[in-house]
Amino acid sequence: MRTVAACFGGLITLFSLVAVVDAAESHCQEQEQVIFSCSLGEKTVSVCASNDFSANSGYLQYRFGPLDMLELSFPTVNDASAPATQFIQARSLMFAGGGGGYLRFINGWYHYIVYTAIGKGWGTKDGVAVQRKHQLIANLECQDVPVSEISTEFFTRAGLSIDRNEFEIPGLD
């Protein structure tokens, strides 16, 4: 389900679009939840969660690459030395006539930021931005309508900490 904000005469209305995703259209397995997924052309970005994912259990993982050959998954699901939420931060975004949110996956100097947003005058922006030492090195926009559960409600249920580094969606100058 994707939550979308629309502005009608100054009144912001939230409504949901339901999108059904087959596990084959994402990097998520059949027994996992698809938190976010979209095609970037030849590659796909997905955020997958175990069915028991919450603030106290399960896992949340960033996955990237062609559907038939995963290039990156982070954090490692089997790493019991630290909770996955230690590597993941989230934040809601507010825009005129809309809003959005993102998940920041922190892997040392590299940050993978999966985002979704809508705003008056520019429409929707969805994709993944890659930063190295807080500098943008890549921004890959979704080529289709993403499946997204990214929302304040999800952040709260997952027990994710609020990202202290502000992220600005590339191209919204």
Sequence-ordered list of residues with C-beta below 8 angstroms from that of 11, at least 6 positions apart, any chain: none
- Which residue is it, tokens 């922190």? 106
Single out the residue of 129, 140, 118, 114 nearest to residue 35, CA to CA: 114
Buried (b) or exposed (e) across 20-30, using 16+ Cβ within 10 A? eeeeebbbbee
68 three-state secondary structure: coil
- Kindly report the pTM of this predicted structure: 0.83
Helices (H) and strands (E) in the chain, counts: 1, 13
pLDDT in tens, the chain (173 residues): 444 443 334 444 344 343 444 444 899 999 999 999 999 999 999 999 999 888 888 889 999 999 989 999 999 876 545 666 689 999 999 887 889 999 999 999 999 999 999 988 889 999 999 999 999 999 999 999 999 999 999 999 899 999 988 899 998 86
